[in-house]
Amino acid sequence: MPPGEPAVQARGVHKFYGSHHVLRGIDLEVRRGEVIVVLGPSGSGKSTFLRCLNHLEAIERGSIRVCGELVGYRETPRGLVELRDAEVAHARRRIGMVFQQFNLFPHLTALGNITAGPLHVLREGREAAAAEARRLLALVGLPEKAEAYPTQLSGGQQQRVAIARALAMRPEVMLFDEPTSALDPEMISEVLEVMTTLSRQGMTMVVVTHEMGFARAVANRVVLVDGGRVVEDTAPGDFFTNPKNERTRAFLDKILH
């Protein structure tokens, strides 16, 4: 898909948990190569929306497309029908996700964690998968940690291995759900540095974070989600210095002062 083509298209996305209406008609388009930072108060729906993008959460209304293909559903004459788990898993290969908690396999080394998907899902050869894993470990600044187990790594190192593991599946879009929130302050910068490198390489990224410096420096657009709705969607300069929405101004006053 050429640069500038829509990589993610969310249209009128609604999500309920019982009677709780979490997402209330979210519209968002992310073009290939863009970095979108999603901000919002706790409970606003931003992490739920991210999980909907790769169908970890099913949506009740609306549609989500990644690289032109519906996520989690197929179109029929009677409307949308949810895909079977195996079909969802196949479609999800296009989307990498990095969570707050690193979710590494504790019994596998860093190399083993990164090669697990390519070996068992993509059916790559062991030698090729290992070579790519070593390349990715170098990319995230951990070339010497191939044989280390998660318990032998710091939180920041584990998160960088988790990023490498997601990249090993060759995703077209990367989702980051508050990737630094579980880290000590001195480890945050090493993870953000890797994410900045990915952005410079043209990776399409949707990032839920509280790191305002990253949003200012790296994002193409900053989106504020509040009450399950997008209330602001603009360039970082305008978002931080000239927001259009009163809710955005109140949010920035609270977090920047």
**Alpha-carbon distances of 109 from 16, 24, 124, 128, rounded to whole Å:** 39, 42, 18, 17
What pLDDT does 247 receive? 94
What pLDDT does 80 receive? 82
Contacts of residue 35, defined as CB under 8 A and 6 or more positions apart, other chains included, come to: 199, 204, 205, 207, 218, 219, 220
- Please give the model's pTM, rounded to 2 decimal places: 0.94
CA separation for the pair 82, 93 (Å, rounded) = 17
Angle between helical axes of 155-167 and 185-200 (0-180°, round to 10): 20
Rounded (5°) CA angle 82-85-89: 110
pLDDT tens digits, the chain, 257 residues: what are they?
556 789 999 999 999 999 999 999 999 999 999 999 999 999 999 999 999 999 999 999 999 999 998 998 888 888 888 888 888 887 788 999 999 999 999 999 999 999 999 999 999 999 999 999 999 999 999 999 999 999 999 999 999 999 999 999 999 999 999 999 999 988 999 999 999 999 999 999 999 999 999 999 999 999 999 999 999 999 999 999 999 999 999 999 988 76
